[in-house]
Amino acid sequence: MIDLEQLTVKEPGVSGYPLWPPPFMVDLIHWYGFNFDPLLIARPPWWQATIWIDVLFFGPFYGFALYAFWKGKNWIRFGAIVWASMLITNVTIILFEEFTGPHASPEIGRVLLANACWFIFPVLTLYRTWRSPIMFESK
C-alpha cells in the first residue's frame, strides 16, 4: 500500500485521496512520514525510481515466489537471488539517505525497525538459495 500511495498521491498533505489505498492508510502513511521519515514525504526522483522497481518488478515476482515456495519449485532460485540482491541494494541506498542525507530521519531507530524486514528477508533468502543449487527436494 505504501508503494501505491507513493504513486497516486503527488503532494502529501495537500492533494486529495486516491481511489486506492483507502484514506485511513494514506493518513497513516503521511503521519508516519511527517513524524519519523521525511524521505517518505520528500519523494526525490531516485526514490520514485525505487518505487517503480517495486511495483513493476518486485510485485509480480512476489506472486511467482509465493507459488514457487509453496509448491517447492526450484526454478525460483535465480529470480530469488536477483530479487534479494536488488532489494538489499535498494534498502542500503535508502538507509544511507535516512542516516546522512538531506532527508535524514530524526527517528533513525524507528525507521530501522520499520525497514528491517526489507533487509532481513533478502539476506535469509540469499542464504537459502546459495546453500545448494537445489532448494527443494523433488516430490
With a cut of 90, say whether residue 13 has pLDDT above it.
no
Q: Structural domain boundaries of the chain?
A: 1-35, 44-139
> Binning pLDDT at 50, 70 and 90, where does residue 139 land?
low
**What percent of the chain is predicted at pLDDT more than 90?**
85
Radius of gyration of the chain (CA): 17
Q: Which of 69, 76, 52, 58 minimizes the C-alpha distance to 118?
A: 58
41-86 pLDDT per residue, tens: 999 999 999 999 999 999 999 999 999 999 999 999 999 999 999 9
With a cut of 70, say whether residue 28 has pLDDT above it.
yes
What is the number of other CB atoms lying within 10 angstroms of the CB of residue 31?
11
With a cut of 90, say whether residue 14 has pLDDT above it.
no
Tell me the whole-structure pTM to 2 decimals: 0.89
CA distance 125 to 83: 9
Q: Which residue has the higher pLDDT, 15 or 125?
A: 125
Give Cα separations from 57 to 17, 25, 97 (angstroms). Answer: 25, 23, 23
CB 111 within 8 A of CB 80: no
The region of weakest confidence among 19-23, 32-36, 90-94 is 19-23
